[in-house]
Structure 1
Amino acid sequence: MNGNVKEFIKNYIILPGYAFFRKLPIKKDLIIFESNMGRNYSGNPKHIYEEMIRIGLDTELECIWVLEDTNTEIPGNAKKIKRSRLSYYYNMARAKIWVFDTRDPPSIQKRDQGYYIQTWHGTPLKKLGMDMDDVFMAGNMDIIDYKRNLYNDTQKWDFLLSQNEFSTEIFKRAFAFADEGSKFQEIWTYGYPRNDVLSNNNNEKDIKKLKEDLGIPKDKKVLLYAPTWRDNEFHRQSIYKFATALDFDLLKEKLADNYAIIVKYHYLVVENIDWSDYEGFIYTFEADQDISNLYLVSDMLITDYSSVMFDYCILDRPMFFFMYDLESYRDELRGFYFDVLEEIPGPISKKTEELIEDIKNHDFEIYQSKYRAFKDKYVKYDDGKASNRVIDKILELKDTDKNVARKELDKNLSNEN
C-alpha cells in the first residue's frame, strides 16, 4: 500500500471513525496495555499484566495489548490489536485505563473520563525532556519542537510511575508533570513492577531453569553487556545503531575460557550483527526477550549510562562501567543528573584492556559502601510488590467517576485555602 493510499485511509476513514468512537460510552473494565510503542511485549506494563493474570483479574477485566506483531505470544486472556488499525482507535477511544511505558501517537487523545497511567522505563542518569539543551536525532526536529511535542504528550498523562524520590523530583521538571499548576496529575513513587521478579525469583532453582531455557552455560561466569543508545548515532528516526568501542576479539581471547557474554541491545537499537565468530562465547536474544531474565542468569553487568544499573543493583552483583566516550557524552551529548565518578558502585574503564583487568581482578568488597548507598537511594521501593501497588490503584480507578473525583478534589483544595 503506497503512502498516498495510507494517508487517505487515515484522514478519511480512521480519524473520522476515531472521532465517532470517542462519543461512545467508556467501558470501565477495558484496559489497554502497550510497551515500547507496540514493538514488543515487555517492561512495566507486561509485569503489571502478568500479576493481574496471577491473581485472576485477566478473566474479570477486558485486557488488550497493542502490538506491531499480533503473532506475539501473550499469556492469559488478553486480546491483541495492531497499532494504527481501526480496531486500535476503537478500543483506545472506549478504554477506561491505558497502561503505557512510552509515548503514544499525537493523533490519540485521551477521553476526559479515561485514565492514562504512564509507567515509564527507567531512573534517569541522562538528562531528558525539558532539561535537555539540544536534540541529536534523525529528522528535522529542533529542541523547541521536541519540547512542545513532549509537553503535549505529558499533559495527557494522569499518573506517572517512578522508581524512587530522585526520579520523582526530576520527572516533575523534565516532563512538566504534577507541578504546582497540575492538581489532577500524580506521581506514584512505587518502585518498578518489572523488577518484582528480581526480588521474587532470585534463587538457585529459578536461575537454573532460566539458564536451561536460554541455553546459557552453567560452568562459566556470565557477563551481561547492556549499553544504552547514542542520540547522534542512528539509522533513521527512532532506530539507533549499536554504538560501542569494545574489542570483542580481545574479549574472546582473554575471557572465553572462563566467561560467557550476553549482549543485550537497547530497545531503540536495531541491528543485524553476525556474531557467528563468537559462538559459545557471545549469546544474543530477540528484542522481546525480557531483560529481567538476563539479569537473573548473569553474574556481572557491563554497562555505560543505561538505567539498567539501577535495576541490576537489586541483585547485589558486581557492575562494571565501560564509558569510552564519557566526556563527550556527559559534556556535549546529554549531560547527567549526578556525578557518575562519585556515585556509581563499580570501576569505570575506557579501553577494552582496562575492562578485562577490572573483570579478572574485581574486588566487590571495596565497593560495598557505595553499593549500599546506591541501593538505598534508587531501589528501596523495589521490594517485589510494585505490581500489586499499581493494580490496587487500577482497581480503584476503574470504578471512579473522574468528574466526581475532580469536584471532590476542588472542594478539598478550597477548604484548605
Structure 2
Amino acid sequence: MNAILLLLRLTITQLIYTLSDFIPRRHKAVMGCYKDKFADNSKYLFLHWQQQKTIRAIWISADKQLIKRLQTQGYEAYLRWSLLGVWHSATAKFYVYNTYIGDINQYLAKGAVKINLWHGSPLKQIEFDISNGPLFQVYHPQNIMQKLIAKAQYHQQYVRPNLMVAPSDMVKKLFCSGFRINDEQLLTCGNPRTDYYQRYKSEDWLQLQLPINTQQVILYAPSWRDSHLDSATNIYTQAIDFERLSSQLQKSNQCLLLRLHPNEAHLATEMSQYPHIINITFWDDIYGILEKIDLLITDYSSIYIDALQYPCDIAFFLFDKTHYQAECRCEYSYVAELPKAGIDLFNFVELQEYLIEFAQKRHTVTKREAVHSYQAFNRSRLLHTFWQHQNRCGLDCLDAFVQNEQIVATKKPA
C-alpha cells in the first residue's frame, strides 16, 4: 500500500471516527470479542447482563453462524455491518470488548464509553510496553512512513479505553503502563470469566465425550507464538510425537484436551486424529472446565494464572524457550522473580516422563492434596500477586459502574 492510499485511508477512517462522536448515545451496551468469537470476559459479562437485565446488551460479530446461534437462544445479536449492527454500534453508550474496539466496530466508537476487559494477565509485554518482536513497530514507529502505516492500519490499537478491570495492584500498574491510562480508569475486582462460574453453573464439561475409563484429564493450552505469523510450519508436531503420546495416554487412562490459541487454530487439525486426544480449539473458550481438569500444561500463556484459582496441577512445556525469548515479545521483568506454579519441561521425553509420573500419582495422593503440598506456598504468593482483589466480584462492580453512569446521565441538564 503506497503513501497516497495510506493517507486516503487514514483521512476517511479518521473522519468517520470523529463524526461518530457527535451521534447521541443511548443507555445500552454493544459487546464483542476477538476473532468474532463468543468468548472470554465480554461473553460472561454479556450472559450475566442478559440474566440480570442490568442493561440492554447487544452482541456484535461478523460471524453469521454465531449471530444466528445467539439469536436462536433468545439473545439480541447482529452482524457488524448489518443495518441494525451499525445502528447500535453508532448509538450505544458502552463498548465492551476483550482486545480492541474493532471487536465491535472500530470506526463508530468515539462517543462511547469504552470498557476493555482484556483477555489475559500481563506476563508478556503488552501494547505500548512492547520492546521487541513483530508488534514493536505497531506501537513504536520509527520514521514518517511507519507512523503513517501505524495510524492508518492500526487505528484501534491507539484508542485508549475509558475503563479496565484489574484483579490486583500489580495488574493495575501494568495496564496503566501498557495502555497509557491512569489509576482512576481501573476497577480493582475479579474478571467476569472466572467470577461467572462462582455464581452460575457451567455445562461445558457435558460437551466432552471422554474415552471410557478416563481417570485423568489433561488440558494442553499453549500460548500464541507471534514470531510464527507467516510460517506454515506446525511447531507442535515438531515438538511432540502425537502418535507416541496417544499410545501412552491410552495405557495410563489419561485424556488430553488440545486447546490452541485462536490465531493458531488451523494447526490443531492434524493433531486431533489420535485416540485419547480431543481437539477443543474450536470451543468458544475453556473457562467452564478449569475446575474439572486434573492438570494444565501450558508455556508462556497467562491461562495458568486463571487456573491458580482451581485445584489442578500446572506444568510448563517450554520446548522453544530460547527461540521464544529471542524472537517473540519479551516478558515483563517481574516475571523472572515469580515463584513457580509448576515444573518446567523442555522436550518431549521430559513431557512423557512427567505424564507417566503424574498418572502414578493418582494411586498415592489425591489431586487436591498434591496441589496443597509442594505448591501451596507458591500458589499463595501467586494468588496475591494476580488475584489480590478477587473477593470483589467483577460482575457486581461492572453492574454498579453502568448503573452509576445512567444515574449521572439523568442528572445532567438537558
Structure 1 equivalent of residue 403 of structure 2 = 395
Structure 2 equivalent of residue 170 of structure 1 = 174
Is the contact made by 2:23 and 2:91 (CA closer than 8 Å) also made in structure 1?
Answer: yes
Match of 2:280 among 265, 276, 285: 285
State which drifts further: 283-292 or 68-77.
68-77
| Shift, 1:402, TM fit | 10
Distance (Å, rounded) in 2 between the aligned partners of 1:316 and 1:151: 41
Structure 2 equivalent of residue 230 of structure 1 = 225
For the structure 1 residues 222 and 297, does the alpha-carbon distance in structure 2 shift closer, same or farther, using more than 3 Å as the test? same
State which drifts further: 67-76 or 120-129.
67-76
Is the contact made by 2:218 and 2:297 (CA closer than 8 Å) also made in structure 1?
Answer: yes
Is the contact made by 1:44 and 1:121 (CA closer than 8 Å) also made in structure 2?
Answer: yes
Structure 1 equivalent of residue 125 of structure 2 = 127
Is 1:96 aligned to residue 90 of structure 2?
Answer: no
SS of the residue corresponding to residue 63 of structure 1 reads: strand
Is 1:263 aligned to residue 242 of structure 2?
Answer: no
Distance (Å, rounded) in 2 between the aligned partners of 1:246 and 1:188: 41
| Shift, 1:155, TM fit | 4.2
| Shift, 1:104, TM fit | 2.4
Distance (Å, rounded) in 2 between the aligned partners of 1:16 and 1:330: 40
Distance (Å, rounded) in 1 between the aligned partners of 2:249 and 2:356: 8
For the structure 1 residues 283 and 230, does the alpha-carbon distance in structure 2 shift closer, same or farther, using more than 3 Å as the test? same
SS of the residue corresponding to residue 250 of structure 1 reads: helix
| Shift, 1:274, TM fit | 3.0
Q: Which residue identity is paired with 1:283?
A: I
Q: Which residue identity is paired with 1:164?
A: S
Is the contact made by 2:318 and 2:345 (CA closer than 8 Å) also made in structure 1?
Answer: yes
| Shift, 1:222, TM fit | 0.4
Is the contact made by 1:68 and 1:82 (CA closer than 8 Å) also made in structure 2?
Answer: yes
SS of the residue corresponding to residue 315 of structure 1 reads: coil
Is the contact made by 1:224 and 1:262 (CA closer than 8 Å) also made in structure 2?
Answer: yes
Distance (Å, rounded) in 2 between the aligned partners of 1:135 and 1:74: 37
Match of 1:300 among 288, 295, 298: 295
SS of the residue corresponding to residue 31 of structure 1 reads: strand
Is 1:158 aligned to residue 180 of structure 2?
Answer: no
Distance (Å, rounded) in 2 between the aligned partners of 1:78 and 1:355: 43
Q: Which residue identity is paired with 1:187?
A: L
Distance (Å, rounded) in 1 between the aligned partners of 2:235 and 2:412: 51
Structure 2 equivalent of residue 25 of structure 1 = 24
| Shift, 1:235, TM fit | 4.3
SS of the residue corresponding to residue 297 of structure 2 reads: strand
How many residue pairs match? The answer is 376
For the structure 1 residues 384 and 41, does the alpha-carbon distance in structure 2 shift closer, same or farther, using more than 3 Å as the test? farther
Structure 1 equivalent of residue 361 of structure 2 = none
| Shift, 1:360, TM fit | 3.1
| Shift, 1:285, TM fit | 2.5
| Shift, 1:242, TM fit | 5.9
Structure 2 equivalent of residue 415 of structure 1 = none
| Shift, 1:31, TM fit | 0.9
Which structure features the higher share of helix residues? 2
Percent sequence identity over matched residues? 20
For the structure 1 residues 120 and 21, does the alpha-carbon distance in structure 2 shift closer, same or farther, using more than 3 Å as the test? closer
Deviations 1:293-329 (A, max 9, x none): 2323321100001010110111021000001122332
Distance (Å, rounded) in 2 between the aligned partners of 1:340 and 1:398: 44
Deviations 1:313-357 (A, max 9, x none): 110210000011223323442221234575221000111111222
Q: Which residue identity is paired with 2:127?
A: G
Is the contact made by 1:122 and 1:163 (CA closer than 8 Å) also made in structure 2?
Answer: no
Structure 1 equivalent of residue 304 of structure 2 = 309
Structure 1 equivalent of residue 366 of structure 2 = none
State how 1:4-403 maps to structure 2 within 5 Å: 23-28=22-27, 30-37=28-35, 39-57=36-54, 61-72=55-66, 73-74=69-70, 77-105=74-102, 108-112=107-111, 114-136=112-134, 143-144=140-141, 145=146, 153=157, 155-178=159-182, 186-200=185-199, 210-217=204-211, 219-235=214-230, 243-244=235-236, 245-257=239-251, 258-271=253-266, 273-275=269-271, 277-279=273-275, 281-285=276-280, 287-337=282-332, 338-340=334-336, 342-362=338-358, 364=371, 365-383=373-391, 385-401=393-409
Deviations 1:96-144 (A, max 9, x none): 11111111249525344x3111111111111122222233269x95841
Distance (Å, rounded) in 2 between the aligned partners of 1:242 and 1:390: 40
SS of the residue corresponding to residue 70 of structure 2 reads: coil
TM-score, length-scaled by structure 2 = 0.79
Q: Which residue identity is paired with 1:345?
A: A
| Shift, 1:277, TM fit | 3.6
Distance (Å, rounded) in 1 between the aligned partners of 2:155 and 2:185: 16
RMSD: 3.6
Is the contact made by 2:262 and 2:281 (CA closer than 8 Å) also made in structure 1?
Answer: no
For the structure 1 residues 346 and 286, does the alpha-carbon distance in structure 2 shift closer, same or farther, using more than 3 Å as the test? closer
SS of the residue corresponding to residue 314 of structure 1 reads: coil
SS of the residue corresponding to residue 65 of structure 2 reads: coil
For the structure 1 residues 276 and 288, does the alpha-carbon distance in structure 2 shift closer, same or farther, using more than 3 Å as the test? closer
State which drifts further: 167-176 or 263-272.
263-272
| Shift, 1:378, TM fit | 1.1
Unaligned runs of 5+ in 2: 1-8, 359-369
Distance (Å, rounded) in 2 between the aligned partners of 1:99 and 1:324: 36
TM-score, length-scaled by structure 1 = 0.78
Q: Which residue identity is paired with 1:32?
A: V
Is the contact made by 1:227 and 1:265 (CA closer than 8 Å) also made in structure 2?
Answer: yes
